[in-house]
Chains A and B, each alone.
Chain A
Amino acid sequence: MSKRPLVAVLLVSALMAGVSASVAAAQSTPAASPSGGPITLTIGSTYDLVSPNVFKACCALDYEFLFESYDQLLNFDKDTLEPTDGLAYYPPEESPDGLTWTFKIRTGVKWSDGVPLTAHDVAFTFNFIKDNHMGAFLSYLGDAKSFTAPDDTTFVWTLNSPSTAPISPPWVPIVPEHIWSKFDGKDAKTIKEFKNVPAVGSGAFHLTDWKPGQYMSSDANRDYWGGAPQIDRLVWRVYDNPEALKLALINGEVDGAYNLPPAIFNQIQDEPNITTNVSNANYYDDLAFNFLGAPGAAYPGSPPGTADPSLQSLDVRKAIAYSIDKQALVDRVTLGYSGLGTTVILPTYTQWHWQPDASETMGFSPETANSLLDKAGYKDKDGDGFRETPNGQPWSLEVLTISDLTYSVAEGKLIVGWMNDVGIKTSIKTVSESKAYDLWYAGDFDMYVWGWGGDPDPDSTLQLFVKSQCGWWSDGCYSDPAYEKMYTEQHTTADLEKRKGIVTQMQQFLYDQVPLVILLYEKDLSAYRNDRFTGFTTQPTPVGSIFYGFGSEIYLGIKPVSASQETASGSSTGVPVWVWIALLVVVVILGGAFFARRGKSSADTE
């Protein structure tokens, strides 16, 4: 009848539930490594798989998934990234004219559904990419004429013009013909709609489950030709924010954490049982200029583009480059965890990267920037602190930044500030990545702070600046006839040394012509629980990442620390039991007081 006893009872039962929950939480075992079950390596990441559809692969964990589940024609050497045996043996047979390459495919390899893998699958994959214009992999095919498989173990790659494409190695996952043949000839949308879970591949693992936004799980391939993995299951877990990922690593909810932001990475340095790893990431951040709208920069059906005409001037672009304090970007945006940006080829690829020496480097020099702008005629005539165009027109630029990317906005803000400091009226505009694609395609920007992933073969990076990529992968439709010539030369030469020379020249050319400013080379900051697993390696050694390689080899060496897995030390979150007890005591006291008062006043009921 009266409310108070009921409320008290409810409160007490809630407290009891809370106590039991707190105790239960302290004893709970995370899913990571239950004793007696399959040995599972759980890696946490703030990225998710975009899609397990091989031809939709673009970003984030997509390439991880591809390397784990599929094989390539040739592999990258673990230490040097040079070509080595993959599904085919290296080196293949090269015809005297350099146009026909014959590969011997290894035998005894099976797809995860038991069907044998043959050269026909290899030929099918390359033909599929070529015939259906699967853009992500097209560039590795070179100027291909045909792909054939005369028998089960021979694969022949014919080119129209010579190139090193067949031995680069081509970064193409080999897919099973018997799964994908029904999509051959269909439109891109239909091909990319295929779910591909579970995924049939020949790799060290095969994907068995994917819950978007939560996790993806792959089982080990016991019969893998490269050697069976020493773990049974590989799970990638998605975390919404890096702080949660850090806590998960400390609690033991995950065994490894991939690509942590610098601030969080610093916080786990002193945690027990955690080994951290700093490596060169496969990514550079850049400030790219837009040329679309300039005379000659267009593609069939291209939009007019809104690039500010001042960006055509090399002096203006150089001035902007000199106004940027790259060391400050490294120190303040990435907390020191990145390399100073110079050329478009990542320093990781030591055989290709060219490093300008001190006299050639365009460092931080507002004085040089100011004098270059004066020389180009961009002076401040009306004394408002900002420069006008040579014709006296008001001049302003806009820097586009991308909210989804860790560093883009922070870098953009500093760059905008520095440009304003040298008298260029600049503003910042921040959009989501999908909106940025929209603006990029429409050519509707002056410059943006974005980035590119690198490739062991420099061709994919160098092609960003050729005319034919305008409307495809070119940032701003920059083109120059001298560059085109160099590009074609390196693309068609089969002589490695000659090619290296041309690639060096191209890097110098781009560095001097400033179609973009390379800001910094990102580093990958990862960590793992050394009390759970060991045997982590990197590719290439020693500067690669422990969780991002160019094949599945980095996973093959990982093994548990001891055969007997203890249950985890328990979650470190949970309301301490003393708090529950204190609350219980308070409720009892209050309840007692209420009951006493009730007793007194019930004497004078009606």
Chain B
Amino acid sequence: MGSRRYLLKKIVQAFFTMWFVLTMNFFLFRILPSNPVANMTKAQKLTRAESAALVHEFGLDKPLWEQYVVYITHPFSWGLSFQSSRPVSDVIGERILPTVLLVGISTVLSTIFGVLIGISSAWRRGSRLDVNWLVSTMTFYSMPDFWFGMMLLLVFAATLHWFPISGYIGDPTATGWAHIVDVARHLVLPVTTLTIGYLGEYSLIMRSSLIDVMNEDFVGVARAKGLPDRLVRRRHAVPNALLPIVTMVILYFGYVLGGSVGVETVFSYPGLGKLTYDAIDQQDYPVMQAMFLLFSAAVIIANLIADITYGYLDPRVREA
């Protein structure tokens, strides 16, 4: 019974948070003085009658609370982009795959390497390797992630020409294996940037989590039994230390998404991050609103999954 109630509670909380985000989104953009219809017409001047017709079509002449109700009940109708007059959902749809590739691969790599390094670091705590790694982690943590990308781009692409300087693909007509290679080559530097940016965090968390676990009683018992270090580590310490890692990785997903904005801008990588940057640059409010919703929803869902996963892995939380 405890687990189902826990699940339900978490889902309800997620819904409420999503509602809060939607409401904030609505009111924030209503504060803007700009006339959204005028923006859409750009160089093609409308007569006042045409402009009024558009205002009516978008429901902008209804009272505020009515607009709000419509907005809340249609959270997925995002309107047209100011910049291209195309539906925002189309514009976003084209960009999802590149971002998923970038963020997904980076998360997997930084998790794997972060965990491995965190384990080695914790086990050799205080050694020169550990201290060096701590300092390197702190250094990468202090670096703006987009700037690290700029340096990689400068050195490996602009100067050495080992990798392409921008974009998602070089040849739009390539198919099959050539296309995969093309995409892979364009992904190397952006993925490296994001991976290294968050690798340090994960390794630190793994390290401190493992250190906490190693100080626990059951590890002392295993050692006293005469088990070699390696097995103590593998069979007892690490599985317990992984618990917070799982949730941390899912929670950090939100930060990685945010980091993709800067990184995609630097590499002119046509994903959701670059779309956000372009929307800021062009003051394309419908796209900005949609990105705000998307990012928030992604993080809220990630949090929900993290809560559920944590509850599944650690029964103590469920019964609380």
Asked if B78 is at the interface of the complex by the 8 Å CB criterion, the answer is: no
User: When the two chains form their complex, are residues A438 and B35 in contact, meaning their CB atoms are under 8 A apart?
Assistant: yes
User: When the two chains form their complex, are residues B270 and A438 in contact, meaning their CB atoms are under 8 A apart?
Assistant: no
Asked if B24 is at the interface of the complex by the 8 Å CB criterion, the answer is: no
Asked if A114 is at the interface of the complex by the 8 Å CB criterion, the answer is: no
Residues of A near B158 (CB, < 8 A) are 243
Contacting residue for B283 out of A211, A432, A571, CB 8 A:
A432
Residues of B near A435 (CB, < 8 A) are 34, 39, 282-283
Contacting residue for B178 out of A24, A59, A135, A243, CB 8 A:
A24
Given contacts A472-B45, A604-B228, A214 and B172 within 8 Å (CB-CB): yes
Given contacts A24-B181, A573-B157, A58 and B165 within 8 Å (CB-CB): no
Asked if B25 is at the interface of the complex by the 8 Å CB criterion, the answer is: no
The segment from A185-193, A273-281, A534-542, A581-589 found at the interface with B is A185-193
Given contacts A432-B283, A435-B283, A574 and B46 within 8 Å (CB-CB): no
Question: In the complex, A25→B44 CA distance in Å?
Answer: 45
Near A by CB (< 8 A), chain B positions 134-172 give: 157-158, 161-167, 170-172
Residue of A nearest to B284 (CB): A434
Interface string of B23-56 (1 = CB under 8 A from A): 0000000000011001101111110101001100
Residue of B nearest to A251 (CB): B170
Given contacts A188-B44, A301-B48, A247 and B172 within 8 Å (CB-CB): no
Given contacts A187-B50, A188-B46, A188-B50, A573 and B164 within 8 Å (CB-CB): yes
Near B by CB (< 8 A), chain A positions 556-606 give: 571-576, 579, 601, 604-606
User: When the two chains form their complex, are residues A574 and B185 in contact, meaning their CB atoms are under 8 A apart?
Assistant: yes
Asked if A404 is at the interface of the complex by the 8 Å CB criterion, the answer is: yes
Asked if B84 is at the interface of the complex by the 8 Å CB criterion, the answer is: yes
Output the residue of A213, A240, A253, A433 with the most chain B CB within 10 A. Answer: A240
Output the least CB separation between A26 and chain B (Å).
11
User: When the two chains form their complex, are residues A21 and B184 in contact, meaning their CB atoms are under 8 A apart?
Assistant: yes
Output the least CB separation between B128 and chain A (Å).
18
Question: In the complex, A247→B157 CA distance in Å?
Answer: 11
User: When the two chains form their complex, are residues B173 and A573 in contact, meaning their CB atoms are under 8 A apart?
Assistant: no
Question: In the complex, A441→B48 CA distance in Å?
Answer: 12
Report the count of interface residues on B (CB-CB < 8 A): 48
Contacting residue for A433 out of B53, B167, B282, CB 8 A:
B282
Residues of B near A188 (CB, < 8 A) are 44, 46, 50
Residues of B near A189 (CB, < 8 A) are 50, 54
Contacting residue for B82 out of A215, A434, A575, CB 8 A:
A434
Question: In the complex, A189→B46 CA distance in Å?
Answer: 9
User: When the two chains form their complex, are residues B228 and A437 in contact, meaning their CB atoms are under 8 A apart?
Assistant: no
Asked if B217 is at the interface of the complex by the 8 Å CB criterion, the answer is: no
Contacting residue for B282 out of A25, A404, A574, CB 8 A:
A404
Asked if A9 is at the interface of the complex by the 8 Å CB criterion, the answer is: no
Asked if A146 is at the interface of the complex by the 8 Å CB criterion, the answer is: no
Interface string of A425-456 (1 = CB under 8 A from B): 00000011111011001100000000000000
Near B by CB (< 8 A), chain A positions 214-273 give: 214-215, 240-241, 243-244, 247, 253
Asked if A368 is at the interface of the complex by the 8 Å CB criterion, the answer is: no
User: When the two chains form their complex, are residues A576 and B172 in contact, meaning their CB atoms are under 8 A apart?
Assistant: no
Asked if B208 is at the interface of the complex by the 8 Å CB criterion, the answer is: no
User: When the two chains form their complex, are residues B166 and A25 in contact, meaning their CB atoms are under 8 A apart?
Assistant: no
Question: In the complex, A471→B38 CA distance in Å?
Answer: 13
Question: In the complex, A135→B185 CA distance in Å?
Answer: 46
Output the least CB separation between A394 and chain B (Å).
24
User: When the two chains form their complex, are residues A573 and B161 in contact, meaning their CB atoms are under 8 A apart?
Assistant: yes
Closest 3 CB pairs of A and B: A240-B268, A432-B282, A58-B43
Q: 8 additional contacts, CB 8 Å, given A135-B45, A437-B41, A573-B157? A: A21-B181, A25-B185, A31-B174, A215-B172, A243-B165, A431-B283, A432-B281, A434-B82
Chain B contact residues, CB within 8 Å of chain A: 34-35, 38-39, 41-46, 48, 50, 53-54, 82-84, 86, 116, 157-158, 161-167, 170-174, 177-178, 181, 184-185, 227-228, 230-231, 268, 270, 281-284
11 A–B contacts from the bound complex (CB under 8 Å): A21-B185, A31-B172, A253-B171, A404-B282, A437-B41, A437-B43, A438-B38, A438-B39, A571-B170, A575-B163, A605-B228
